[in-house]
Amino acid sequence: MNTRALLMLTGVAAVLIASGCKTASRRADRTAAPPVRVTPLPPRAAAAKPRVLPAKPPPSPAVRTNAWQNESAKWIGTPYRWGGNDRRGIDCSGFTLQIYQAVAKLPLPRTAEHQFLTGKPVTRDELRAGDLVFFNTTRPGASHVGLWLGDGHFVHASTARGVTISSLTERYWSARFLGGKRLLSFGGSK
User: Contact 162/95 with Cβ under 8 angstroms?
Assistant: no
Q: Which of 21, 114, 144, 153 is catalytic?
A: 144
- The count of C-alpha atoms lying within 13 angstroms of the C-alpha of 30, restricted to the half-sphere facing its C-beta, is 5
Active site residue 144: yes
Active site residue 114: no
Partner residues linked to 157 by β-bridges: 163
| Dihedral (CA of 76, 80, 164, 156) sign | negative
What is the phi-psi region of residue 57: left when phi exceeds 0, alpha when psi lies from -120 to 50, beta otherwise?
beta
**Range list of H helices, the chain:** 3-31, 61-73, 92-104, 112-115, 171-176
- Gap between the Cα atoms of 116 and 8, Å rounded: 94
Mark 118-143 as b/e (b = at least 16 C-beta within 10 Å): eeeebeeeebbbbbbbbbbbeeeebb
CA 14 centroid distance within chain: 66
Which residues have a catalytic role annotated?
92, 144, 156
